[in-house]
């Protein structure tokens, strides 16, 4: 049974296998496979993901605090979801409160819909209600995931569709 978990060193091998899949799509190339194979480096990466929950608006990086969660099934990494605690100008246009992705070999199996459903109460517990979720105009699969979770179309900004999704 799939479930949300906090990113953990326990999933290193499965995460790296997923990263190979993303690299084949030319995504997440900034995450080096060779360096993340080292247990100490991977542990630092996990610590950095967890630290993103405590970013302050005053850090001037342009980033906002976010909770990172992983979707795992039978101890295998399937996908990830990021819950951004607040919105800045950029996120109001592209990105919104929630960003998610499923590893290529696990797509089209209902994982994204289930992962978003499981994460929405977590977003609500962070004081996010409703959550803004955006997707590319051409991404009909993501649009279906958002709408299956109660997303209501709220307009368009350039090539991004905007939806408000209740979290409670």
3-state secondary structure 40-105: HHHHHHHHHHHHHHHCCHHHCCCCCCEEEEEEEECCEEEEEEEEECCCCHHHHHCCECEEEEECHH
Residues 66 and 82: beta-carbon distance below 8 Å: yes
State the average pLDDT over residues 98-109: 98
pLDDT band at 87 (very low <50, low <70, confident <90, very high): very high
Q: pTM of the prediction?
A: 0.95
Structure confidence at residue 10 (pLDDT):
97
State the average pLDDT over residues 107-131: 98
Distance CA 112, CA 79 (A): 8
State the average pLDDT over residues 149-156: 97
58 has pLDDT over 70: no
């Amino acid at each position: 049974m799939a479930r949300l978990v906090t990113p953990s060193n326990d999933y290193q091998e499965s995460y790296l296998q997923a990263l190979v899949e993303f690299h084949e799509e030319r995504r997440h190339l900034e995450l080096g496979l060779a360096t993340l194979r080292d247990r100490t480096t991977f542990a630092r990466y996990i610590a950095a993901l967890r630290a993103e929950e405590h970013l302050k608006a005053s850090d001037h990086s342009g980033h906002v605090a976010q909770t990172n969660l992983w979707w795992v099934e039978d101890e295998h990494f399937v996908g990830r979801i990021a819950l951004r605690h607040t919105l800045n100008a950029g996120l109001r246009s592209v990105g919104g409160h929630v960003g998610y992705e499923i590893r290529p070999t696990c797509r089209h199996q209902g994982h994204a819909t289930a992962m978003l459903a499981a994460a929405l109460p977590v977003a609500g517990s962070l004081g996010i209600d409703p959550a803004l979720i955006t997707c590319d105009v051409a991404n009909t699969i993501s649009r279906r995931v958002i709408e299956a979770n109660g997303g209501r179309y709220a307009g368009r900004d350039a090539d991004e569709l905007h939806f408000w999704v209740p979290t409670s």
